[in-house]
Chain A
Amino acid sequence: MSIGRVTSNRDPFAGASEMSPTDRSAAIERVLARFGEVARRAGAAHGLQGQDLDEVLQEVRIRLWRVDASASGKLDALKSSYVYRAALSAAIDLLRRRRARREDSLDDDGDHDAPATFAAPASADADTLASDAGRAVETALTMVVPSRRAVVRMYLAGYERQEIASLLGWSEAKTRNLLYRGLDDLRHLLTAKGIHP
């Protein structure tokens, strides 16, 4: 698997006529708009932050401009697989930079990115109970068999069965079976501790 940087040596714009810089720019924007729309739609349901995607697309835009600029044009045949690889590479770079910043931040023991406030405005007791329930769920999850546990975690994090099946390449029936068995396991473990979810 390659997650390295996309270099400017490959020409993804084969077979199209010469373009003016304006046309070239418009073609790049069309490609990025199509790509961005699909990605944004895919991420919208699970809180993908728009600025993350914008940052990636900006990097892809720069990389596309750098691709064989001498052969300006040839953008009509811009391959989606090339844009995808460029976007992955840009995203990996972005995530690496963020991880490095977080490590630096921990080393400095200074400001943290995490929001400072998680205080409960309505009921401190209710929040404490909810946090306790979360810890109990985590403890119980560690006792669920791994193949079920991963599916249950994904479900609890807000993903639906169909998304889980699609990600893991499983049939709907297999996913449902493992998910329900995992949730049943979790409930029994919690009930045994006197917690009734």
Chain B
Amino acid sequence: MITETGDASLRRAYDALLRARAADGHSSGAAAPVSLKSILALVEGTGSENERLATLDALMADEQGRREFELLRALSATQHSAPQTIRSWRLTATVATLAAAALLIVVIPTVRRPQRVETPEPVRDASRNAVLLSPPTEATVEQSRTFRWRAVPDARIYSVEVLTAAGAPVFTTRVADTTLTLPADVRLAPGVEHRWWIVTEFSDGTQLRSPLRRLFVRETK
């Protein structure tokens, strides 16, 4: 099983790689950027699975490509949100009805016997991840001192981690609130890019880590 700690270090290392590539001004080494048509096919779920996987592989190896993908993916979400809700509700209702009927058929004529109850592995809804609100990607020195994120239902505590662009920790702490102001003795260097993220810890011990957010502190003139 993959450990959370290992996941975090892998993610930081991978993020550092993408940042370094972006800074160098070259992408994953592919001869040309992924075509916009391929990105669109990926977000709309058209084309073969192999083609979509190849597109995804190339996009996720290149920060610029990932940003392009993210814009089209967000637009595509507008088409899936409401109808999917209705469809999934209807599907759930249908499945529940059929399941109830099947249960009656199977359970009534049989002798009751002990059943092994399997508890499914808890799966956290990605939409319950902490949404990072501030500071903005490019912040003044003053703005860079206060971190805010949206509250996550059932969250027990939040870990805040501020990192260098390459993933080295600069400041970490745990808070119950959804706002954190850096202590007076911690100052993020202006003119330097940092990264930050929130790890939401739930009462059942599971954790959900937000995507890394960039933070560039503008130099004061």
User: In terms of DSSP, what is the predominant structure of the interface of chain B?
Assistant: helix
- A161-B131 contact in complex given A43-B70, A48-B71, A183-B2, C-beta closer than 8 Å: no
Instruction: Mark contacts of A88-112 with chain B using CB atoms, 8 A cut-off: 1 yes-contact digit, 0 otherwise.
Output: 1001101110010010001000001
Interchain CA distance A171-B53 in the complex, whole Å:
15
Range of interface residues on A (Cβ < 8 Å): 35 or more
Interchain CA distance A99-B37 in the complex, whole Å:
14
Please determine whether B168 and A126 come into contact, CB atoms closer than 8 angstroms: yes
Instruction: Mark contacts of A144-181 with chain B using CB atoms, 8 A cut-off: 1 yes-contact digit, 0 otherwise.
Output: 00110110011111111111000111001000000010
Interchain CA distance A180-B167 in the complex, whole Å:
23
Choose from A99, A112, A137, A153 the contact partner of B13 (Cβ within 8 Å). Answer: A137
Please tell me if A64 contacts chain B, counting CB pairs below 8 Å: no
Please tell me if A52 contacts chain B, counting CB pairs below 8 Å: yes
Please tell me if B154 contacts chain A, counting CB pairs below 8 Å: no
Instruction: Mark contacts of A68-80 with chain B using CB atoms, 8 A cut-off: 1 yes-contact digit, 0 otherwise.
Output: 0000000000001
User: In terms of DSSP, what is the predominant structure of the interface of chain A?
Assistant: helix
Please determine whether A150 and B53 come into contact, CB atoms closer than 8 angstroms: yes
The interface residues of chain B lying within 8 Å CB-to-CB of A160 are 124, 126, 129, 208
Please determine whether A134 and B79 come into contact, CB atoms closer than 8 angstroms: no
Within the complex, the shortest CB–CB distance from B196 to chain A, in Å, comes to 11
The interface residues of chain A lying within 8 Å CB-to-CB of B212 are 158
The interface residues of chain A lying within 8 Å CB-to-CB of B15 are 134, 156-158
Please tell me if B99 contacts chain A, counting CB pairs below 8 Å: no
Instruction: Mark contacts of B125-154 with chain A using CB atoms, 8 A cut-off: 1 yes-contact digit, 0 otherwise.
Output: 111010110000100000000000000000
The interface residues of chain B lying within 8 Å CB-to-CB of A117 are 191-193, 216
Choose from B61, B81, B189 the contact partner of A121 (Cβ within 8 Å). Answer: B189
- A118-B168 contact in complex given A87-B75, A91-B71, A91-B72, C-beta closer than 8 Å: no
The interface residues of chain B lying within 8 Å CB-to-CB of A14 are none
Please determine whether B168 and A122 come into contact, CB atoms closer than 8 angstroms: yes
Within the complex, the shortest CB–CB distance from A110 to chain B, in Å, comes to 12
Please determine whether B37 and A39 come into contact, CB atoms closer than 8 angstroms: no
Interface size on B, residues (CB 8 A): 82
Please tell me if B159 contacts chain A, counting CB pairs below 8 Å: no
Please tell me if A20 contacts chain B, counting CB pairs below 8 Å: no
Instruction: Mark contacts of A52-75 with chain B using CB atoms, 8 A cut-off: 1 yes-contact digit, 0 otherwise.
Output: 110010000000000000000000
The interface residues of chain A lying within 8 Å CB-to-CB of B192 are 117-121
The interface residues of chain A lying within 8 Å CB-to-CB of B137 are 47, 49
Interchain CA distance A58-B45 in the complex, whole Å:
27
- A114-B9 contact in complex given A123-B168, A131-B20, C-beta closer than 8 Å: no
The interface residues of chain B lying within 8 Å CB-to-CB of A194 are none
Beta-carbon contacts under 8 Å, B157-183 to A? 164-170
- A146-B208 contact in complex given A92-B36, A163-B126, C-beta closer than 8 Å: no
Please determine whether A146 and B54 come into contact, CB atoms closer than 8 angstroms: yes
Q: Closest 7 interchain pairs by CB? A: A134-B17, A158-B211, A43-B74, A42-B77, A126-B168, A153-B60, A127-B166
- A114-B25 contact in complex given A45-B210, A167-B42, C-beta closer than 8 Å: yes
